[in-house]
Amino acid sequence: MLVLLPPSEGKTSPPRGPALDLDALSSPGLTPVREKVLDALAEVSRRPDAAAVLGVGASLADEVLRNTVLREAPTAPARRVYTGVLYGAAGLDSLTPAARRRAHESVRVVSGLWGAVTPEDPLPAYRLSMSTDLPGIGPLASAWRGPLGVELDARADGELVVDCRSAAYLAAWHPPRSADWVAVRVLREVDGVRSVVSHHAKHTRGVLTRHLLTRRARPPRDAEGLAAAASELVGDVLLAVELGPPARGARTLSLVVA
């Protein structure tokens, strides 16, 4: 099983910790691109128009400025740095040792700066979205597509891929045809009418992630097994679980909430 998550928009800055060491990150094949994106991000973050280029508001000027010193900034495991609705629900920093090992093996966070990381990779807090057209690099999803394919295709080969990414991060890499690829969609049902939601989607995807990491049964191995595991949440968190038919690309697992 491979669970794909987007990073959180906001990050918690570690108060202390070792400085960034790219050689300490998983997926060392991504290091050359990480170096280039890191340098380009630092350069653009020094510009007067940095906030506009990075697509953030003026209120986040301090976070943008922090991008200029990422190589010297303190780091902490990604499970502590990534915060927000999805990560609050997933609770990656409060897992048992056994579940934490499962997360290290199974969870990959697809990132505009790092490409892909595990929850244990030591990272500084930063501000960069995969949707950014970064001067000196270009559109980040395009820049990462090839390197992520080299790094992740073999990991996903023959595996169940539980895809909880948003559209911007989905564009950076598609699992190979040999993978059983399932995209997780969240629908809200009110008075019999269903609609796509964003806040509920983040929370519910986080709940599903934690469930997959903490349930006592073995991890699901295919789309049907994933639907069965998600159905264990019906009556508590979910109203219904529906698995779409096989089609080109990903199958869709719809999680229905109230």
| pLDDT of res. 119 | 98
pTM of the model: 0.96
86: closest CA among 68, 110, 104? 110
Residue 229, amino acid: A
| pLDDT of res. 191 | 86
56 pLDDT band, cuts 50/70/90, is very high
* Mean per-residue pLDDT, 14-23: 97
Chain segment 20-44, per-residue pLDDT in tens: 999 999 999 999 999 999 999 999 9
User: Per this entry, what is the length of the chain?
Assistant: 258
Is pLDDT of 197 > 90? Answer: no
Domain range for 41: 2-257
Give the chain's domain count: 1
